[in-house]
């Protein structure tokens, strides 16, 4: 039987045929440089604490009372966002730049957060939010980086 190898660069288990090296030369020195750079950034990210994460905080067991979808608003602060309003005032640590106590924002580009907020509102479920002051502050309200829908 005459078997031709259609892809000479692939090794076929149990078949005979030509096996050639890849046409792209890969030098060990180039691979090691890449690995060393990758390891450097991994170690750096572990060794240097993220200061913006240290300022972030979670607020639990909130009830959403209103959602307001904002389109093209005059100015740029509120453009393309979702306001999430709560039944109880939000309690922020002292010194927080977030002073609006009844609402937070989600940018519309984060569609998974928008749909989670709508789902929680429609099903009357409680939510936990993660407020990150490093994200844009709209008016005096902070933007959230995640929302948990809880029972």
Residue pLDDT, tens place only, 46-72: 665 554 444 678 999 999 999 998 888
139: left (phi over 0), alpha (psi -120 to 50) or beta: left
Between CA 131 and CA 142 the distance in angstroms is 7
Please give the distance of CA 7 from its chain centroid, rounded to a whole number: 40
Which range is least confidently modeled, 21-25, 123-127, 138-142?
21-25
Among the residue ranges 14-18, 88-92, 125-129, 143-147, the one predicted with the least confidence is: 14-18
101-113 pLDDT, tens digit per residue, is 999 999 989 999 9
Residue 144, pLDDT > 70, answer: yes
Kindly state the average pLDDT of the residues 137-149: 90
How much is the pLDDT for 37? 74
Predicted confidence at residue 26, as pLDDT, reads: 58
Instruction: Provide the pLDDT for residue 96.
Output: 85
- The region of weakest confidence among 4-8, 30-34, 100-104, 140-144 is 4-8
Q: Give the gyration radius of the chain's Cα atoms.
A: 26
Contacts of 142 (CB under 8 A, 6+ apart): 96, 97, 98, 100, 104, 105, 131, 132, 133, 135
Domains of the chain: 52-150 (2.40.50.110)
Over range 21-30, report the average pLDDT. 62
């Amino acid at each position: 039987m005459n078997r031709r190898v259609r892809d000479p660069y692939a090794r076929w288990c149990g078949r005979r045929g030509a096996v050639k090296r890849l046409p792209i030369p890969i030098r060990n020195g180039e691979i090691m440089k890449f690995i060393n750079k990758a390891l450097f950034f991994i170690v750096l990210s572990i060794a240097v604490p993220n200061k913006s994460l240290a300022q972030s905080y979670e607020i639990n067991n909130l009830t959403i009372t209103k959602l307001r979808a904002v389109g093209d608003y005059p100015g740029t602060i509120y453009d393309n966002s979702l306001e999430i309003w709560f039944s109880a005032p939000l309690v922020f640590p002292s010194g927080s730049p977030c002073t609006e106590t009844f609402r937070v924002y989600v940018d519309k580009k984060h569609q998974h957060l928008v749909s989670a907020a709508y789902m929680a509102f429609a099903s009357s479920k409680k939510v936990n939010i993660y407020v990150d002051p490093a994200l844009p502050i709209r008016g005096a309200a902070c933007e959230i980086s995640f929302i948990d829908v809880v029972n």
